[in-house]
């Protein structure tokens, strides 16, 4: 049986383009004992994958040039030589960026059985959702009534973060770009602030107008001007959970950081970076808490879907244009 | 009785100069019930006072133009209308920048009775010492064996921080300027690295050479290139205690921050600002631990002393030239 997959032919300089991605075909080897073959139905593309394209180990192994790329995926078992899986099982695994994946059974997990579409386990109930929950609770230690600011608030992570924050009270402000995203955030009870055509000074003022008392928690997905504006609006004892800095991922040389880092001192604030994989042992707790909310329709989540394996690079690149609302997915 | 004191005549733009400080004389009012009059013997000047000169409330009230400035001081009670104090008592209080202070008794504390020179209670056993101990233990949560980096390592705060860190094992690296300071640090068993004539890239390399495994803790007193170089040398899970950013205190406009803040994310590091006054309830614990070490000569501390009240502004300004080794003091 054949598998089609993407591989990188070189390391991107700055913003990647589609020419870096090669769609290849390989014959899969015979299934060995303990292996499972999965026909993927949904693939995830995520901003953190950009960091894996530089050939340097950061917190995760880089993609190897010429080898199959990988990432989260959901699919159906089509052959199994492991007693834990049977044909027809719906599973999640890390063999994405391809149509058919063949993996050891211990790298595959059955989908939980909440009444949600299966691709939710790549988004609101998957890694992005778990990231929102971990950043807010474990890293930022959000308390009842805290005022919370979230950047990239209409993204896969941000849109759950604002809703979980909203449920605990306090003023919740979300930064986003397009009117459509701002409208969605407002519909969730979030005060939406656009970053478009603003420098950090103007964004600072707009955040202050949205929440004059300042923020106890900042959930950071963007970096750059968003961070600078947030630093100007911290309350004493504020906590910043640094989940990502997507505005910087394609920088070819280091851009200067915010000029107001001393606010960390003046406001006795804490800024902490985290990687969700370090906290994966808490995934069952997350699922117990958020799974029922999603199944009952109490959490609103959106998806931006591209169809067809060949669209995977395009879907990935759209993340850096802010073209996605909610989770960016590829449907096979 | 007369008191001579300093007051500010205007808010400094950038680096202050001596023309901002007026030495004035005023007749003290009659001592009221509950008040104590103190003849000061030692005055403290500290970097944090720069932040009080801008007329803006940050974490502490600003100095009022034309009014007596204040700050930590040690002296002898020369008159008392409170039963807790008698003539001849040695005390510490916040009525500095003057020769004779008159204060409510509850704003005065008797000096502890370790066998140390009284001015030690303004330095190694005073606010700067407590700052070092709090930053290392409470904020950075230093663990046995951690590798620790300290900037401004020969200063009043830094020089205790490196010694407390050294006592818990691990590699301790201190950043300082002059050869004399570097030699002192080396004599304490600290690896000393100069920041002089280096950009952040070179300083990063030199820190890496001094401690190839990277740092678990960074005690930040300086900001700027020191912070950037430190961020490049963090271990996973590192903690940065932000005590000060003296390199920025005289900036007239915001200078750009470090371009490598994303290291906070990559290394899952935590950066936390603190103000020692928030932790003052722990001062007795600090004194119990560090007081005996100082009394037994197990902690080396240095002082840079200016003589005479009129030298107070000069002593203060020297802090920004790095002209002090250890605690900067004025002896009356």
With a CB cutoff of 8 Å and minimum separation 6, the contacts of A321 are none
Question: In chain A, what residues touch B272 (CB-CB under 8 Å)?
Answer: 264, 268-271
Task: Say if residue B13's pLDDT is above 80.
Answer: yes
Question: In chain A, what residues touch B227 (CB-CB under 8 Å)?
Answer: 261
Of the candidates B262, B274, B126, the one whose C-alpha atom is nearest the C-alpha of residue A48 is B262
Taking an 8 Å cut-off on Cβ atoms, the answer to whether A275 and B261 are in contact is no
* Triad B87, B88, B89: Cα angle to 5°: 95
The segment(s) of chain A belonging to CATH 3.40.50.720 are 127-277
- Kindly report, residue by residue over A115-143, the tens digit of the pLDDT: 999 999 999 999 999 999 999 999 999 99
Token pair 């008797």 is found at: B110
- Kindly report, residue by residue over A145-179, the tens digit of the pLDDT: 999 999 999 999 999 999 999 999 789 999 999 99
| pLDDT given for residue A60 in this prediction | 79
Taking an 8 Å cut-off on Cβ atoms, the answer to whether A223 and B273 are in contact is no
Distance from B52 to chain A by nearest Cα, in Å? 12
Taking an 8 Å cut-off on Cβ atoms, the answer to whether A272 and B275 are in contact is no
Tell me the average pLDDT across B22-26: 97
Taking an 8 Å cut-off on Cβ atoms, the answer to whether A265 and B257 are in contact is no
Distance from B144 to chain A by nearest Cα, in Å? 22
Q: Which residue of A has its CA nearest to B247?
A: A262
Mean model confidence pLDDT for chain B: 94
**Which CATH number describes the domain made up of B127-277?**
3.40.50.720
| pLDDT given for residue B324 in this prediction | 81
Question: Is A2-123+302-331 CATH 3.30.9.10?
Answer: no
Architecture of domain B2-122+302-331: Alpha-Beta Complex (3.90)
| pLDDT given for residue B245 in this prediction | 83
Give the residue from B252, B257, B280 with the most A CB atoms within 10 Å of its CB, the best one to mutate. Answer: B257
Mean model confidence pLDDT for chain A: 94
| pLDDT given for residue B77 in this prediction | 98
Are B241 and B274 in contact by the 8 Å Cβ rule? The answer is yes
Q: How confident is the model at residue A14 (pLDDT cuts 50, 70, 90)?
A: confident
pLDDT > 70 fraction of chain A, expressed in percent and rounded: 100
Question: In chain A, what residues touch B253 (CB-CB under 8 Å)?
Answer: 259
Tell me the average pLDDT across A19-30: 96
- Kindly report, residue by residue over A186-237, the tens digit of the pLDDT: 999 999 999 999 999 999 999 999 999 999 999 999 999 999 999 999 999 9
Cβ-based neighbour number of residue B250 at 10 Å: 13
Q: Which residue of A has its CA nearest to B58?
A: A266
Three-class SS string for A68-125? CCCECEEEEEEEECCCCCCCCCEEEECECCECEEEEEHHHEEECCCCCCCHHHHHCCC
Pick from B236, B248, B259: CB nearest A257: B259
φ, ψ at A21 (rounded to 5°): -105, 125
Pick from B254, B265, B278: CB nearest A259: B254
A54-58, A114-118, A269-273, B277-281: lowest mean pLDDT where?
A54-58
Q: How confident is the model at residue B251 (pLDDT cuts 50, 70, 90)?
A: confident
Task: Say if residue B14's pLDDT is above 80.
Answer: yes
pLDDT > 90 fraction of chain A, expressed in percent and rounded: 86
The segment(s) of chain A belonging to CATH 3.90.180.10 are 2-123+302-331
Distance from A307 to chain B by nearest Cα, in Å? 32
A109: exposed, middle or buried (Cβ count in 10 Å: 0-12, 13-18, 19+): middle
Task: Say if residue B141's pLDDT is above 80.
Answer: yes
Q: How confident is the model at residue B329 (pLDDT cuts 50, 70, 90)?
A: very high
| pLDDT given for residue A246 in this prediction | 78
Pick from B260, B268, B272: CB nearest A275: B268
Task: Say if residue A70's pLDDT is above 90.
Answer: yes
- Kindly report, residue by residue over B39-51, the tens digit of the pLDDT: 999 999 999 999 8
Task: Say if residue B252's pLDDT is above 80.
Answer: no
């Amino acid at each position: 049986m054949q598998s089609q997959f993407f591989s990188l032919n070189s390391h991107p300089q700055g913003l990647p383009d589609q020419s870096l991605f090669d769609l290849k075909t390989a014959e899969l080897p015979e299934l060995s004992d303990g292996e499972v073959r999965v026909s993927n139905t949904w693939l995830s593309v995520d901003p953190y994958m950009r960091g894996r394209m530089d050939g340097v180990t950061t917190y995760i192994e880089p993609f190897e040039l010429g080898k199959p790329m990988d990432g989260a995926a959901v699919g159906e078992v089509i052959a199994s030589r492991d007693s834990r899986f049977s044909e027809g099982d719906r599973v999640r695994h890390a063999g994405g960026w391809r149509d058919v994946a063949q993996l050891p059974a211990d790298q595959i997990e059955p989908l939980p059985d909440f009444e949600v579409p299966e691709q939710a386990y790549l988004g609101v109930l998957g890694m992005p959702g778990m990231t929102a929950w971990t950043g807010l609770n474990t890293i930022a230690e959000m308390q009842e009534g805290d005022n919370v600011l979230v950047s990239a608030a209409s993204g896969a992570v941000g849109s759950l973060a604002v809703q979980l924050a909203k449920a605990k009270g306090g003023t919740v402000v979300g930064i986003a770009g397009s009117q459509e995203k701002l409208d969605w955030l407002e519909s969730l009870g979030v005060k939406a602030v656009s970053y478009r055509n603003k420098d950090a000074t103007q964004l600072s003022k707009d955040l202050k107008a949205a929440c004059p008392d300042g923020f106890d928690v900042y959930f950071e997905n963007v970096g750059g001007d968003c961070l600078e504006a947030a630093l100007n609006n911290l309350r004493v004892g504020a906590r910043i959970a640094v989940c990502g800095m997507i505005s910087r991922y394609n920088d070819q040389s280091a851009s200067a950081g915010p000029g107001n880092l001393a606010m960390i001192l003046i406001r006795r604030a804490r800024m902490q970076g985290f990687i969700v994989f370090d906290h994966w042992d808490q995934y069952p707790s997350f699922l117990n808490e958020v799974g029922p909310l999603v199944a009952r329709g109490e959490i609103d989540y959106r998806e931006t879907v591209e169809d067809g394996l060949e669209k995977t690079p395009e879907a990935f690149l759209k993340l850096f244009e802010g073209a996605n609302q909610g989770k960016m997915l590829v449907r096979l």
